[in-house]
Amino acid sequence: MSGGKKCPFTEVKNHTARRLTNDVVGMVKNTKKMNAMWIEVTGCSGNIISLLNSENPGLYDILTGTVNLTYNNTIMGLEGEFAFEKFLETLDTEFILLVDGAVSTKEKGRYNIVANYNGKNITALEAIQLAGGKAKYVVAVGTCASHGGISAAKPNPSESKSVQEVLSRQVIKLPGCPCHPDWVVGTIAHLVGYGIPQLDNEGRPLLFYGVTIHDTCTRRGFFDKGIFAQKFGEEGCMFKIGCRGPITKTDCPRRKWNGYVNWPIGDNTNCIGCAQSQFPDGMEPFVKYTD
Amino acid sequence: MGKTITIDPVTRISGFLEIKAEVEGNTIAKANASGLLFRGFEKMLKGRSPLDAVYFTERICGICSTAHSMASTLALEDALKVTVSLNDNYIRDIMHGFEFIQNHLRHFYLLSIPSYVKISSLKLIEEQQYTDFRLPEKINKKIEDDYVKSIELSRLAHEGLALLGGKAPHNHGIFVGGVTANIDAYKLEKVKDIIRKAEAFVKNIMVEDVEIISKYYSDYFKKGISYPYFMTYGTFDRYEDPEITYVKPGVMKDNIKYNLEPDKITEQIQYAWYKKDEGLEEVDLSKLNAYTFIKAPRYLGFPMEVGPLARLIVSGEYKNGHSCMDRNIARVLETEKILGIMKNLAERVELIPNNQQVYSIPEKAYGVGMIDTTRGALGHWIEIDKSVINHYNIITPTVWNLSPKDESNLHGTIERALIGTKLNNIKEPIEIGRIVRSFDPCVSCATHLIGSAGDTEIVEVLV
């Protein structure tokens, strides 16, 4: 390859979200931006933190260039009823609903109150059903929203459910614990600029969830040569200590995390299948050793 | 007859919080803080493989997951009698340090600053129901620009964590026996570079910003004053070398310093939505007088303040008061302090491999992991039986700060900080949010925790 040129394969993988967003920012610059609400429900708020880690493009560019975010508990200026009124106002507009967390249904949803409005407690269940019925698109961000995740882990004390289970409509699913910021940003950009991206039979965008981790693993060579790690901290393929890479579909090996510097297998630990619908119960034990 | 102010949601915190305050004249006379999320991690953890506790409990909290990986790893190392090499401790503390930096930058700029500075370039942040913004235009613009710059710095702090821990949040690299990374020259240089960049920002910009705010909002040195009771489990304290040491475990009560005695910690549920059913705790939303999912931990029967201010007071480095503004200042001073320690730790790291082993799980074991994390004192207690988790108990920092009243009707720390605070304008009670945020509460952490299955109301934590 001649000097100055970069491998197109790596470029595309690393910058899909940036490329999509740049295109879309150009498209929406002179038109009214679509509204979006990011609602945190039963979870750890790790997906909004992951979004704050977004780099290509960064958070500031997302908030000023792609969509008009009208509601998010973690960063918005308003509080109390004034904040919840933004939620209510947005319902009458064209908007994308992004849900971070599972929906708790025990005791009619009273294990998770998201607001007090006119003296009435608003449960997460009510808020999601209300907004989910009116949104142009619904995106489940992270494994809890997509499949129940750790919030619904056995014995599921809060009777948490996925967003899909409480809404009778199409829900785009972006599992991952947390969801990679590029997966969210890229999906939002696609929705704004091109509509719904091509999805697999579990509702995941093929762009990010098309192949298994094992397919493109940086340690695939070890597997092919039969060189296996016996425990954490070692080079070698993690297959024999329970790596979930062979069944987990994400682009982690190519994309990597946090400035694209590392990922769990790069840190000498196995994939724990955090983007799988059966996570965590069906992915355990996370840690096991070959005998 | 007083006026009741309800704020729900209290935004720009992590999780779901309602504050109800009764005002008499223009002073807050009563205050209740309600944590409004329950997940039930203790029940989920029962029966699972002990080694899975590290990655499982991280998912309690997305903003402080590294804290839980530290405490759960320490609890497991205690139970499994695993020791950690000096070099691995350095690397682990650097990872934990990056989490402090990420948290403090995000809390100060993204969560706290919009209550004092108008962020007019971002509509979502700019819109506020209050008008008490006091900075002259030029100074306001400077801090607004710093708000935007901080986004990249906090992202970079997570990049430093991921370099050593695989990814963030929910890292893989902090694990029983030390760390899983094999440190190399490239990683170490990059870590040092991120520390340098963060230090330049904090020293040159963040410290100045909090000084400006404390000047224009100096009345907040008289608002949000809580009990003079402070506690820390210690952090960056596994070394003798003062250059890499921050604070050892300790309690400061009425200006007198005491050693920390973990067996003096109790948890009460009088005003929390729990009942005892044959020794086991269950949720009871119909419980009379209860108003929160958060329990009331007490030390020798007293509510304690935990977090940056408590650490600086216990370590003897902060001599001013303990108001809303003192807490904001302490958070910034601590950010600078921890970056200094991280820099010194990085200087000491040797390029040697990790020490991971194959760990066998005993039939029965008990372990404790107590460490101060971003928001304060965090404890994990694990009991292993038949080689699986039989019981797991967690008391998070926010449970200490955001607890409800106890059996002696002593208010929790944040409730106490609100009570007695004078509102400048009763129609715009911006004080409440400012005071609550000065504690950096994380309700995601605080509201799914279950105490030991004792049969009295006051639960002794096994130590």
- Please say which residue of A161, A177, A207 terminates a domain: A207
- Could you tell me the pLDDT band of residue B447, with boundaries at 50, 70 and 90? low
Chain B residue closest to A154 (CA)? B44
- Could you tell me the pLDDT band of residue B444, with boundaries at 50, 70 and 90? confident
Residue whose entry in the numeric block shows the structure tokens 């997460």: A124
Strand A95-100 to strand A137-141: parallel, antiparallel, or no bridges (unpaired)? Answer: parallel
Residue whose entry in the numeric block shows the structure tokens 């370590």: B315
User: What's residue A2's pLDDT?
Assistant: 44
Please, what's the b/e burial string for A60-70 (b: 16 or more CB within 10 A of its CB; e: otherwise)? bbbbbbbbbbb
Are the beta carbons of B33 and B415 closer than 8 angstroms?
yes
User: What's residue A291's pLDDT?
Assistant: 62
Do A141 and A26 share a domain, yes or no?
yes
- Spatial neighbors of A199 by CB under 8 A, at least 6 apart, are A172, A205, A206
Nearest to B74 by CA among B243, B249, B312: B249
d(CA B73, CA B51): 9
Are the beta carbons of A262 and B385 closer than 8 angstroms?
no
Average pLDDT for residues B333-356, to the nearest whole number?
98
Query: Which residues 244-263 of A are in CB contact (within 8 Å) with B?
Result: 257-259, 261-263
Packing angle between helix A8-28 and helix A181-194, nearest 10 degrees? Answer: 50
Does the pLDDT of residue B458 top 80, yes or no? no
- The Cα of B148 is separated from the nearest Cα of chain A by a number of Å equal to 7
Cα end-to-end distance, chain A, whole Å: 46
Q: Does A72 touch chain B (CB under 8 A)?
A: yes
- Work out how many domains chain A is built from and give that number: 2
User: What's residue A12's pLDDT?
Assistant: 56
Does the pLDDT of residue B265 top 50, yes or no? yes
Q: Is residue A245 part of a domain?
A: yes
Q: Is residue A1 part of a domain?
A: no
Element (H, E) at A170: none
- Spatial neighbors of B141 by CB under 8 A, at least 6 apart, are none
- DSSP for residue B180: S
Do A72 and A187 share a domain, yes or no?
yes
d(CA B438, CA B435): 5
Q: Is residue A114 part of a domain?
A: yes
- The Cα of A79 is separated from the nearest Cα of chain B by a number of Å equal to 5
User: At residue B289, what are phi and psi to the nearest 5 degrees?
Assistant: 70, -10
CB spacing of B18 vs A82 below 8 angstroms:
no
Using DSSP's 3-state secondary structure scheme, residue A88 falls into helix
Do A48 and A167 share a domain, yes or no?
yes
d(CA A122, CA B6): 14
Which of B41, B167, B275 has the highest number of chain A CBs within 10 A, making it the mutation to test binding with A? B167
Chain B residue closest to A48 (CA)? B62
Domains and CATH numbers, chain B: 3-460 (1.10.645.10)
User: At residue B393, what are phi and psi to the nearest 5 degrees?
Assistant: -125, 140
CB spacing of A232 vs B180 below 8 angstroms:
yes
- Asked if residue A253 has a cis previous peptide bond (ω within 30° of 0), the answer is no
Do A63 and A145 share a domain, yes or no?
yes
Interior CA angle at B64 toward A146 and B200, to 5°? 120
How buried is residue B164: exposed, middle or buried, by Cβ count under 10 Å (0-12/13-18/19+)? buried
Using DSSP's 3-state secondary structure scheme, residue B433 falls into helix
- DSSP for residue B115: G
B-chain CB neighbours of A178 within 8 Å are 62, 169-170
Q: What parts of chain A have a pLDDT lower than 50? A: 1-3
d(CA B414, CA B400): 9
Do A34 and A136 share a domain, yes or no?
yes
Domain of residue A139, CATH code: 3.40.50.700
- Residue ranges making up the domain that contains A17: 8-207
Are the beta carbons of A96 and A139 closer than 8 angstroms?
yes
Beta-bridge partner residues of A262? A257
Nearest to B173 by CA among B300, B356, B323, B348: B356
- Spatial neighbors of B432 by CB under 8 A, at least 6 apart, are B5, B7, B10, B19, B21, B28, B418
- The two tokens of residue B166 are 């695989």
**DSSP per position, A49-70:** HHHHT-BTTBHHHIIIII-EEE
The size of the A-B interface in CB pairs under 8 A is 257
Using DSSP's 3-state secondary structure scheme, residue A211 falls into coil
Element (H, E) at B189: helix B185-201
Average pLDDT for residues B22-30, to the nearest whole number?
96
- Could you tell me the pLDDT band of residue B65, with boundaries at 50, 70 and 90? very high
- Spatial neighbors of A198 by CB under 8 A, at least 6 apart, are A205, A206, A207
Beta-bridge partner residues of B332? none
Q: Does A286 touch chain B (CB under 8 A)?
A: yes
Report CA torsion sign: A255, A258, A260, A262. Answer: negative
- Please say which residue of A173, A207, A241 terminates a domain: A207
Q: Is residue A28 part of a domain?
A: yes
Do A19 and A147 share a domain, yes or no?
yes
Do A189 and A246 share a domain, yes or no?
no
Do A57 and A157 share a domain, yes or no?
yes
CB spacing of A42 vs B126 below 8 angstroms:
no
B-chain CB neighbours of A48 within 8 Å are 62
Q: Is residue A74 part of a domain?
A: yes
Which of A40, A60, A78, A103 has the highest number of chain B CBs within 10 A, making it the mutation to test binding with B? A78
Chain B residue closest to A265 (CA)? B166
User: What's residue A61's pLDDT?
Assistant: 87
Does the pLDDT of residue B36 top 70, yes or no? yes
Which of B43, B48, B59 has the highest number of chain A CBs within 10 A, making it the mutation to test binding with A? B59
d(CA B59, CA B37): 15
Do A85 and A140 share a domain, yes or no?
yes
Q: Is residue A3 part of a domain?
A: no
Q: Is residue A246 part of a domain?
A: yes
Domain of residue A215, CATH code: 4.10.480.10
CB spacing of B182 vs A44 below 8 angstroms:
no
Do A149 and A237 share a domain, yes or no?
no
Chain B residue closest to A260 (CA)? B159
Beta-bridge partner residues of B257? B252
Element (H, E) at B63: none
Does the pLDDT of residue B86 top 60, yes or no? yes
Using DSSP's 3-state secondary structure scheme, residue B442 falls into strand
Nearest to A102 by CA among A154, A165, A52: A165
- Rounded to two decimals, the pTM is 0.95
- Please say which residue of A176, A207, A238 terminates a domain: A207
Element (H, E) at B340: helix B324-348
Are the beta carbons of B16 and A43 closer than 8 angstroms?
no
User: What's residue A11's pLDDT?
Assistant: 59
Do A216 and A140 share a domain, yes or no?
no
Q: Does A151 touch chain B (CB under 8 A)?
A: yes
A-chain CB neighbours of B280 within 8 Å are none
Which of A48, A79, A113, A158 has the highest number of chain B CBs within 10 A, making it the mutation to test binding with B? A79
Do A100 and A203 share a domain, yes or no?
yes
- The two tokens of residue B215 are 């000047």
CB spacing of A286 vs B56 below 8 angstroms:
yes
User: What's residue A4's pLDDT?
Assistant: 56
Q: Is residue A2 part of a domain?
A: no
Mean pLDDT of chain B: 94
Average pLDDT for residues B307-324, to the nearest whole number?
97
Using DSSP's 3-state secondary structure scheme, residue B77 falls into helix
